[in-house]
Amino acid sequence: MNEFQIISLVLLAIVLLDAVGDGLRWNGKQVAHHAVEIIREGIWLSMVAIFMDNWLIVPMYIVARIIFFDPIINLVAGKGLGYVGSSSIYDRILKWFSFKVKESGQLIWVLRAMALIFWITWLITK
């Protein structure tokens, strides 16, 4: 396993921890939420300190977040897998765009699938 693949997997872990922590917070489990957030921040700060000269970690993190964050937080919080909230700017943009193109909410899954293909291709080719 090369350095790029290791970085990608660690960034995936960061995204998953972020989603789990937020899902726990939605369920009112503040102590567990804070514990997960502390672990996530420690890993993130370690990544930045070790790989500060490798700026690929920023787009890799963004792509991983697009793919995994919303489905994981929805599962942990007990929401529907395709639930789109209304509090974040990202959620508002998704709802607005879905309304404008008159689509039923499946577009985000197409975007996630495309991002997943990009992520896997990125891992294989590096």
**2: left (phi > 0), else alpha (psi -120 to 50), else beta?**
beta
d(CA 21, CA 1): 28
d(CA 92, CA 96): 6
Residue 5, SS3 per DSSP: helix
User: Where do the domains of the chain lie?
Assistant: 3-125
Which residues are CB-contacts of 68 (< 8 A; sequence separation ≥ 6)?
Answer: 12, 15, 16, 19
Question: What's the pLDDT tens digit per position in 54-112?
Answer: 777 778 888 888 888 888 888 888 888 777 777 778 778 877 877 777 766 677 888 88
pTM of the model: 0.70
Nearest C-alpha neighbor of 64 from the set 108, 10, 109: 10
Question: What's the pLDDT tens digit per position in 8-61?
Answer: 888 899 999 999 998 998 888 989 989 998 998 888 888 877 877 777 777 888
